[in-house]
Amino acid sequence: MENEIKEFFRQTAPTPADPTSFTLELNARLAAVETIKAYHDREIRRTRRIFLIVFAAGLLLGGALAAFLILYPVRMPDAPTVIESPWFWPVAIAGTLLAVGCPMLLTRRISPTRFLR
Amino acid sequence: MTREEFISLATAEQESLRRFLLSLCGDPAEADDIAQDALVNAYVASGSFRGAARFSTWLFRIAYNCFIDRLRGRKMQTSPLETPAAQAVPGPDATDGRFHHEDLHRAIGRLPDKERAALLLFYMEDKPVKEVAAILEIPAGSVRAYLTRGRQHVKEYLEKWKTR
């Protein structure tokens, strides 16, 4: 009985349209996926590189700021408990620019999905 | 998995996948679109395919999920398959010679989605119960229940039409 039903289903199974155009479209879609994948991988590598550079620069600047604060202490007249270095402001400004620039650089990534639109 | 490897595996499954989707949703254009989506999704996820399941099972599962997503997202209406071939093939138990392929697909088209998918995979695509269960992500016992119920439903529908 089961085999009869199977045979009947097999006999009445619909035939899909021409496979050539289907395969061509599939190839085109897979090629597009590969382009997006390659772009995405490139973006991930770029982001990772930027992150490493920013991290290293942050460490260097942080170290430099700490070193100058220790090496060139200056007592501020208005705030007697705070010790400041003449290098404090240049290093602090550079650090702030880096802190603002880092997220900007990281978020500048263009979404790969824009290719799908 | 390289693109060439994927294409060679997908080509082997292409016809049966398209036939399954065509029987499932009834519209050839929609079925092909779902098949394309499924194959692209499978290609994107091919890095995670470890060969624990058969490639065809994995692919059919993705395709079935695409079908369900489309059904939920677009409120797609499944319709009975109507092709010129539908009028041509008589069933083996046709006593009056007027029982048509179209009737069977109309009857199948009226079944609930899971029941219909289970019937098509088991009878049309000749997949074992275990594989059908893996594709539909349900226990094998449920597949057997769907098959029994599906057979009963198809029988009822066909009898109703025959008496008209």
Query: Which amino acid, A13?
Result: A
Tens digits of residue pLDDT in A42-58 = 988 988 888 888 888 88
Q: In angstroms, what separates the C-alpha of B71 from chain A's closest C-alpha?
A: 20
Which tokens hold the place of A105?
Answer: 């650089």
Site of tokens 């997503």:
B69
pLDDT of residue B161: 65
Tens digits of residue pLDDT in B104-127 = 777 777 888 888 899 899 988 889
Task: Give the residue-averaged pLDDT of A103-107.
Answer: 64
Contact B85 A15 (CB under 8 A): yes
DSSP conformational letter for A84 = E
- Rounded Cα distance between A89 and B121, Å, is 72
Q: Give me the residue spans of the domains in chain A.
A: 46-112
- Rounded Cα distance between B56 and B35, Å, is 13
> Is this complex scored with an ipTM above 0.90?
no
- Rounded Cα distance between B35 and B72, Å, is 17
pLDDT band at B85 (very low <50, low <70, confident <90, very high): very low
pLDDT of residue A115: 46
pLDDT band at B26 (very low <50, low <70, confident <90, very high): confident
- Contacts with B36 (C-beta within 8 Å, 6 or more apart), sequence order: A22, A25, A26, A29
Q: Which of B9, B16, B33, B43 to probe the A interface (max A CBs under 10 A)?
A: B43
CA A113 from centroid of its chain's CA atoms: 14
Closest CA to B120 of B147, B89, B92: B147
Higher pLDDT, B32 or A100: B32
Cβ-nearest to A26 among B39, B81, B83: B39
- Please report the residues numbered 1 through 60 in chain A whose beta carbons come closer than 8 angstroms to any beta carbon of chain B: 4-17, 19, 22-23, 25-27, 29-30, 33-34, 37
Site of tokens 């430099």:
A64
Task: Give the residue-averaged pLDDT of A3-29.
Answer: 82
What is the three-class DSSP state of A94?
helix
Q: Which stretch, A3-7, A66-70, B59-63, B115-119, has highest mean pLDDT? A: B59-63
State the average pLDDT for chain B. 80
Domain annotation for chain B: domains and CATH numbers: 1-79 (1.10.1740.10), 81-164 (1.10.10.10)
Closest CA to B69 of B13, B30, B106, B108: B30
pLDDT above 90 covers a percentage of chain B that reads 34
- Rounded Cα distance between B55 and A74, Å, is 72
DSSP secondary structure string for all residues of B72-100: HHH-PPP-----GGGGT-B-TT-SSS--B
What is the three-class DSSP state of B57?
helix
